Structure 1
């Protein structure tokens, strides 16, 4: 069953990579909601913390990477708004 967790973690984590790449390339964040991305990034951070608390490696790793991607997009949104 752990295999399913790793696949789910990889899919949900790397689904944000295209948005991060596009945002960095185009420097255009007009279609991104600041409120949504702020809440999303905070939520991912808390999932990451929770993963550390319970010692769940897929939860920790996937949310570390997702937090990095989301932080890039959020930073760009704040910079180019």
Structure 2
């Protein structure tokens, strides 16, 4: 693995897991208060484009970190839907 890829993996780590504290807080309090599903959906959409871009340029760090970020955003939107339904009852 080249130094460029190592730097890409390290840089991607920080940006990928930036949303994780919000997801964990939402799961801990079992509420979607304070969460903006539109932001998560927009981020997820553009992260899918980043995965495609990473594939086009052959960059493993771009693809790997954005696949993880898409999964985190998918969990955030799924949790939002779940907790919204619970709060309506």
- Give the shorter-chain TM-score range: 0.7 to 0.9
Greater RCO between the two (CA within 8 Å, min separation 6)?
A: 1
Residue 78 of structure 2 corresponds to residue 75 of structure 1: yes
- Pairwise CA RMSD: 1.6
- Counting only pairs closer than 5 Å after superposition, residues 1-80 of structure 1 correspond to structure 2 as 2=4, 3-80=6-83
| Greater C-alpha radius of gyration | 2
Gaps of 5+ in 2: 85-89
List alignment gaps of at least 5 residues for structure 1.
none
The count of corresponding residues between Structure 1 and Structure 2 is: 81
Report the TM-score, using the length of structure 1 for normalisation: 0.84
The CA distance in 2 between the partners of 1:26 and 1:49, in whole Å, is 35
| Aligned mates of 1:17, 1:30 — CA distance in 2 | 16
Q: Which residue is equivalent to 2:87?
A: none
- Provide the C-alpha distance between the structure 2 equivalents of 1:47 and 1:27, rounded to a whole number of angstroms: 31
Q: Secondary structure at the match of 2:42?
A: helix
Q: Which runs of 4+ in 1 moved over 3 A?
A: none
